[in-house]
Structure 1
Amino acid sequence: MQCQAFNEEEIHAILSEQSLYPAGWIHTHPSQTCFLSSIDLHTQYSYQVMLPEAVAIVAAPTDPTRSYGIFRLTDPGGMDVLRECGESGFHTHRETTDGGPIYETCSRVHFNPNLRFEIVDLRSGA
């Protein structure tokens, strides 16, 4: 399976119009476990290279151990691996220089149930 973002210009226009900037991204693994695939790692790199605090949120409703995860690339380990990777599609990555993981679960996350949010659906006909 693969995911491709469309109309990214519209996304950036909405963010700019509302004086917002992306602090990460969210996607689902509807029939997989909760992890970052090689494609996800490259996507996260593009966010994290611009904003070191950026996170990737994965919703995995069929994972029996956890239904979601919040991840980031390790720095410098994972960031270095992705910076040097020129492959695309699903593939394996080399080990980090220090032998640590390429990405980690974010442990200092505060959930505020009182935050207001708005969903903008850019799909045609929606």
Structure 2
Amino acid sequence: MSDSTTITERFRDALRSLEESSSTDDLVDLYASGCSVGNVVDGEAFSGHDGVREFWTIYREQFDEVSSEFAVIAGDDSGGVLEWTTTGTSNGHEVSYRGATVLEVADGEITRSMAYYDPADLGRQVVES
């Protein structure tokens, strides 16, 4: 990747890799060893590289197929935000939800990431499936 690729763009690319291959490696490589990762449901319950791996594995396992499209990708050396729509299938049924992920960054690594979305909306779709 070029030196001009932001951490936010690299995060987007690593998430796409996870969605396509189920491998967490590219995401784990972006995070600092003392990081925290979470969402509005779990809070910041996951920390360090093992926590990153667990968090993103749990995310991917919710879906048979999944793909995220990004409406906004903004960031600099201190952090970024991605606004996304994720679509896919869960238990053979279609799901779609929108949200945003906020990244805090230090020394070129993600120190904290938090995803914000309507968990009731996603929960209804997954439960109904």
- TM above 0.5, one fold? no
The structure with the greater share of residues assigned to strand is 2
TM-score, structure 1 normalization: 0.24
The structure with the largest alpha-carbon Rg is: 1
The structure with the greater share of residues assigned to helix is 2
TM-score, structure 2 normalization: 0.24
